[in-house]
Structures are given as structure tokens and as C-alpha cells.
Amino acid sequence: MILRGDRLILGTCYYPEHWTETMWRDDLKRMKDTGIEVVRIAEFAWNKIEPREGNFNYDFFDRFLDIAEEENMKVIMGTPTATPPAWLTEKYPEALNADKDGNLFYHGARRHYNYNSPVYQELSARIVEKMAEHYGKRPCIIGWQIDNEVNCENDEFYSESDHQAFRKFVQDKYGSLEALNEAWGTVFWNQTYTDWKEIHAPRKTCSDSTNPHEVLDYFRFVSYSARSFVKRQSDIIKKYKKQGDFITTNGLFGNLDSHRMNRESLDFITYDSYPNFAYCLDAYSDKPGNMKDRKWSRNLSMTRSISPVFGIMEQQSGANGWNTRMEAPTPRPGQITLWTMQSVAHGADYISYFRWRTCTVGTEIYWHGILDYSGRDNRRIREIREIHKKFEKMKKIAGSHYEAKVGMIKDYDNTWDSQLDVWHGRLEKQSQKAFFETAQLTHTPFDYVNLDETVTEDDLKGYKVLFYPHAAIMTQEQTELLKKYVENGGVLVLGCRNAYKNINGKCVMENLPGVLADFAGVDIPEYTAIAPDTEKVIVNWEGTEMEAAVFAEQLDTLDDTSQIVGTYGSDYYKGTGALTRKAVGKGEVYYYGSAYTADSVRVFLEKLDVIEPFGNLAEVPETCEIAMRTKNEEKYLFILNYEKTPASVKFLKPMKDLWTDNTLIGEVELEPYGVLVAEVL
């Protein structure tokens, strides 16, 4: 029913267990009246089904589902494994997660469990099986959400079961201690292991520095543990669900290969979008700089790379806040619409608001939903009613795809390596931020491309330009694939510090850039982090200046198949190569010896002729985001104004405003937080 490519659909998150039963029917009727057709329920309600170990009772949700069916409300059923009950953790403390020092996280919050405890695996599989078996054929159910936000709040696990499972994971991976010692370079600082029982998940060490190759494997292990946990549930649900009902889970979190999880266990991923974090008053806010709520487009692009068809399971509809952290203002008039359309612009065809009513108890009493505590009609529900009308007017965009000719390659090994390695991390942070912000400000839509073993030439060939800034870890297979992409006419832009590590994160001894050297035609005899007392380092690329950042590799060409096209202008490396270009087949590979800055990204986009691809349709100020969704010959343009002031847009070609049916041409004013969705005529 949802995400079938035929309609845009609204939903909400509802917690029947938070309200008296007499409220249910009215709530559902009122949702329908608002245009909400789907509710997600039950994801924290284990006790309502198994209040005591082994005592199952399905009445509570049966009563709710009866009413849902009578009211023609569709339901996404959550499995409640993110919140194991008190009876469980009291009797089986081994099910609890622990911090690095081994201190258990006790009952009282959520996500306090670990994935590897045999007893938790058994009891969580059992509740899922019981639920799927009992509720699986209910007509109102359209899909299942596994757990809730896998790896949210905690993405590291140090319980005794995790130590044991990690030992088994590396034993299976390496087969022998010799191979493990070799892979982890344990000869350094006398870390050599002589018995498997000496192996633990990384523990607290003196000077807090742990073997980096071990930590890389540990992140892989956490991902594997989480994926296996999700897969076990998915396999169970598949046995009982109705044909056509989907399986998903929500959110994007650390130390988890969500792409692989999606392939193994889900029909599609859903994302939880809370752009109001941009306005948080406390230290929890991650200081989004100029991009503010616009920064959420980055996560939406990442979600799209996991499954091009996706929905939003939790979309902001009120102020955020926990009683223990986070304080944020209520969305201003227009912002719920803006954030909803931001999700839709990036490809979401299902939007479910978090949550219907604001909870009156517990940690999330300040995390406002559509309605406040009293449930009275308010500005936010009125705005959502309007969104529903807008969805009806624009329903034909369902099933269309986000249009991007530029790709940013990412991969989990490098993401995790950049988490544990501050040198790599600094580069990655700098380049990703510069790239995202510049792409946004120049109205250059892009996709993330996850480079894993399933990617083929076909997946890459639609991109005119691919950026891959700092692939510290690069394999021969990846190099071959990228080479094919370039030979077929693609343009690849590499940044500094590529291919200097092998798959275990150990530095290679070949001349840099290792496996890329021949392909890129580059030799790097010297490199340095840019010293703090170096003035601005400017790179001159055939007469155009751009600023380098963080690192300066001094590039030579390997032979005359490649040329130096840019040189550094500062410090002792003044005049040495900063950028090379090599023609390979029908395409080109660039090797840039530094990290990206806002102006270098702009120069690349301009020189490679991929900047502002919709500039011929409309002139749009920097403060607005632009996105295009296409379906066959149909083209839908989204313009989103993130500012509290109006924005002036100039349409250069006539378009049809899908909400008003007006023709847009020439100057059009977009109101504060205004959005335009227009069909290109």
C-alpha cells in the first residue's frame, strides 16, 4: 500500500499503550480526518504481550487492531525488542549491554540490551515469533518495523557475550592466531596473542590507544552483530506475514552497514528525520553551521543510497526534547511543511509524523507530537491537514526518482577507519562538509554511492562525475571497477591520502598512491599535513585559484600519460604538483593532493561542467535548496526556502505549480520557509 509508486501517503506514530482505550477510536477517526492513513505501533510494548516470562496475551493489540480495521486504518507493527522488560533483564542480566569498563546498562531507559547474549537472542526471537504468528494475517497490517533505530543511543557493545562473540568472529575470519596476529600487526608493542582466550573486544588501555586494526575489525563485528539480530527477526516475520506486507527498520546509525542490512533483511529502509536538532538550545546540538536544518538533506541522500524507494517513519512535527537533555523550539509556521517536502524532494513517498499525541509521562514529555498534551486542535495539525491536501495535488510524483549527475563515493571500511584514525577523520570531515555545503549552495544535486562488492559498472555509469575524496583503504577490485567507470566516459576525482592502507588498515609499502598509482598516473614522493603556521595554501589550477586544506601531497606524474594541472603556491612545496589529470579511455581521472574546501569543490563542479544543472529552468538564491524528481519524461522541480525571510525565484521556463495549478514564469516570491513543487512543462 505504501511506497508502491502510486501515491504519497501520510502516517503517524501511535502508542495505544500510552492512552486509555476509550481514546483510540476518536484518535483514529481524527487521524483519518487529517489525511493520515497509517499508524506505526507497538515498538516498545513488549509487556503488553508478554507481561511475565512465557505468559503471552494478545488481547491488548487485538482490541486495537479491531478498531483499526473498523476505522480502515492501516498499521505498521513494530517488534518490541528495543525495550526488553524489567523481568527479563533482572533475571538475565547477561542480556544487558555494558560500557567499555564492563559496567552494565541497567533497566530504566531503552536499548539497554546486547545483540549477542544467547538468552536475549532466544527471548527476542520468541516474542517476534509470537507476534508475527498471532498478528501476521490481520488485514489492517501492511508492514513490519524491526526493533527501533538499530544502534541508536549505543553503537558499542562490551557485555561478556560480546567479548565471546567477538572472539568467535575473528576466529572465523582469520582461522589461526598467526593470521590474526599478522592482520592486526600485533608485533607492535608486544601485543602478540598466543591463545584465543586472550582476545577481547577492545578494552580500556593505558593512554586510551587501542590497536587500530583490531578496532576496525570490532566495528565490522558490531555491524555484523546488529545485522544478524535484524536478520533473525526478518526471517521469522517472513514465515508469517501476508504476501505483500513489507519489512523495514528505521533510522541511520553508527557502526552499522545499513546497505547490507537492507539487502539481507528489509524491503526498504525508513528514516527518522528531525531537522529541529538544528535549533537545539543545548550541547546536544551538533552545531550545524550555516546549513541548519538544510543539513538533513545529507542524511536523506544517504538513506536514498540504501534504498532508492524509502519512507520517513518519524518526521518532525513538534518541538524536540527529553527531560534529561535537548531543548528546542516548536517548528515555526511552515517548517513542518518544509521538512516534509525536504523528505519528499529527496525521494520519500511515505511520511509518518512522530508522534500523534505528546506523551505525558517519561523521558520524552517534551518531545512534542502533532497534538499537545490536551489534544486540542492546534496550528500543527492544521498545517498537516494542508500538507495532506498538497499531497493529493502532487500525487503523480510518487514513484519518481531524485535526479543527480554527481556522486560522492563512500564505503563503510573507510567510514569506520576515519572514526578511529584522527588523521583520516580530519580529512574526511573537512571534505565531506565542504562538498555537501557547496553542492547545496550551488544547487548541484548529488547522490551518495556506497562502494561495496555488489556495485557494478552499470550502477556508476549514470554519473557524469564521481568524487572519492579519501579512500585510505582501497582494494585492487575497487580500483578495477573505478577504472571501468572512467574508461566508459566517467570522470573520477580523487582527493589526497588514497590507497595508503590495506583492508586491515595497515599502511602499504608500495609507492603511493598504492593500487591507484598506475590508474591515476601519479607518484607521491612526499606529503605533509599542512602546518598550522603555514599561511593559506592556494592551488593554482590552470589560472584558477582555490584553497587547499589539511594536507598537501606533492604530486609527480608517473609518465607522460598524465599531466600536472595544478600546483601549490605556499610553503616549501610551492610550485610542486597539487592536481593531476589523466585521460583513461573515454573519461578522465583527477588526483587532488589535498582535502576539499568550499571553493575547491566549486571550482571542480564548474570546470567539470556539472554545477547547477537546473540553472536553465530557474534562478534560485543560495538560501534555497533545489531538487528534481523525474519519472519517464515528467520532471518535478522542488524549491525549498529554509530561511525565515522570503526568497525571490526567477522562473526562466514556464512551469506548473502543482499546489495551485498556476503557471510559474518570471519572478516569484517564496514565503518564509516556503516550498514550491512545480512540473516542468
- The 244-283 contact track toward ligand GAL, x by CB under 6 A, reads ----------------------------x-----------
Spatial CB neighbours of 656, under 8 Å, sequence gap ≥ 6: 662, 663, 664, 678, 679, 681
Give the residue numbers annotated as catalytic, written as ranges.
149, 314
Beta carbon of residue 624, minimum distance to ligand GAL (angstroms, whole number)? 28
Q: Which of 162, 364, 413, 625 binds ligand GAL (CB under 6 A)?
A: 364
Beta strand 141-145 pairing with 74-78 = parallel
Spatial CB neighbours of 208, under 8 Å, sequence gap ≥ 6: none
Binding to ligand GAL (CB under 6 A) within 590-609 occurs at none
Question: Which residue, among 577, 600, 583, 423, has the nearest Cα to 500 in the 3D structure?
Answer: 423
Is the CB of 143 or the CB of 469 nearer to ligand GAL? 143
- The 366-395 contact track toward ligand GAL, x by CB under 6 A, reads -x----------------------------
Spatial CB neighbours of 83, under 8 Å, sequence gap ≥ 6: 44, 46, 110, 111
Is the CB of 73 or the CB of 152 nearer to ligand GAL? 152
* Residues 568/570/571/572 CA torsion (nearest 10 deg): 50
Known binding residue 296? Answer is no
Beta carbon of residue 64, minimum distance to ligand GAL (angstroms, whole number)? 18
Is the CB of 367 or the CB of 568 nearer to ligand GAL? 367
Beta carbon of residue 332, minimum distance to ligand GAL (angstroms, whole number)? 20
Is the CB of 272 or the CB of 349 nearer to ligand GAL? 272
Is the CB of 239 or the CB of 325 nearer to ligand GAL? 325
Known binding residue 423? Answer is no
| Residue whose C-alpha cell reads 562538509 in the numeric block | 433
- The 434-473 contact track toward ligand GAL, x by CB under 6 A, reads ----------------------------------------
Stretch that binds ligand GAL, among 146-154, 287-295, 417-425, 475-483 (CB under 6 A): 146-154
* Residue 541 near residue 602, CB atoms below 8 Å: no
For 239, phi and psi rounded to 5 degrees? -70, -25
Beta carbon of residue 223, minimum distance to ligand GAL (angstroms, whole number)? 19
Stretch that binds ligand GAL, among 145-153, 421-429, 592-600, 601-609 (CB under 6 A): 145-153
For 195, phi and psi rounded to 5 degrees? -150, 140
Q: In which element (H, E) is residue 468 found?
A: strand 465-468
Q: Which of 34, 148, 211, 258 binds ligand GAL (CB under 6 A)?
A: 148
For 652, phi and psi rounded to 5 degrees? -95, -20
Is the CB of 49 or the CB of 152 nearer to ligand GAL? 152
Q: Which of 314, 349, 383, 421 binds ligand GAL (CB under 6 A)?
A: 314
* Residue 150 near residue 133, CB atoms below 8 Å: no
Beta carbon of residue 43, minimum distance to ligand GAL (angstroms, whole number)? 7
119 vs 116: CA distance, rounded Å: 9
Q: Does 147 bind ligand GAL (CB under 6 A)?
A: no
507 vs 518: CA distance, rounded Å: 18
Q: H helices within 160-204, ranges in order?
A: 160-174, 177-184
* Residue 246 near residue 144, CB atoms below 8 Å: yes
Residue 387 burial (CB count, 10 A): 22
Is the CB of 285 or the CB of 488 nearer to ligand GAL? 285
Is the CB of 363 or the CB of 488 nearer to ligand GAL? 363
Q: Which amino acid is at 518?
A: D
Is the CB of 364 or the CB of 588 nearer to ligand GAL? 364
Stretch that binds ligand GAL, among 52-60, 148-156, 288-296, 445-453 (CB under 6 A): 148-156
Stretch that binds ligand GAL, among 147-155, 176-184, 396-404, 592-600 (CB under 6 A): 147-155
Beta carbon of residue 500, minimum distance to ligand GAL (angstroms, whole number)? 37
633 vs 561: CA distance, rounded Å: 41
Question: Which residue, among 146, 153, 51, has the nearest Cα to 110 in the 3D structure?
Answer: 153
Q: H helices within 346-403, ranges in order?
A: 379-393
Known binding residue 57? Answer is no
300 vs 79: CA distance, rounded Å: 24
Q: Which amino acid is at 114?
A: N
Beta carbon of residue 283, minimum distance to ligand GAL (angstroms, whole number)? 17
Q: Which of 27, 37, 149, 413 binds ligand GAL (CB under 6 A)?
A: 149
106 vs 98: CA distance, rounded Å: 9
Beta carbon of residue 256, minimum distance to ligand GAL (angstroms, whole number)? 15
**DSSP letters of 476-537?**
HHHHHHHHHHHHTT-EEEE-SS-S-B-TTSPBP-SSTTGGGHHHHTEEEEEEEEPPTTS---
Beta carbon of residue 384, minimum distance to ligand GAL (angstroms, whole number)? 18
Beta strand 587-592 pairing with 491-494 = parallel
Which residues are 640's β-sheet partners? 625, 675
Beta strand 675-680 pairing with 634-641 = antiparallel
Beta carbon of residue 39, minimum distance to ligand GAL (angstroms, whole number)? 14
Q: How many residues line the site for ligand GAL (CB under 6 A)?
A: 8
Helix and strand element counts for the chain (H, E): 18, 26
Beta carbon of residue 322, minimum distance to ligand GAL (angstroms, whole number)? 6
Is the CB of 84 or the CB of 212 nearer to ligand GAL? 84
Query: Quick one: how far is CA 618 from the chain centroid?
Result: 29
Is the CB of 149 or the CB of 217 nearer to ligand GAL? 149
3-state secondary structure of 649: strand
Task: Could you list the residues known to form a binding site for substrate, using ranges.
Answer: 110, 148, 322
Site of interaction with ligand GAL (CB under 6 A): 148-149, 152, 272, 314, 354, 364, 367
Task: Could you list the residues known to form a binding site, using ranges.
Answer: 110, 148, 322
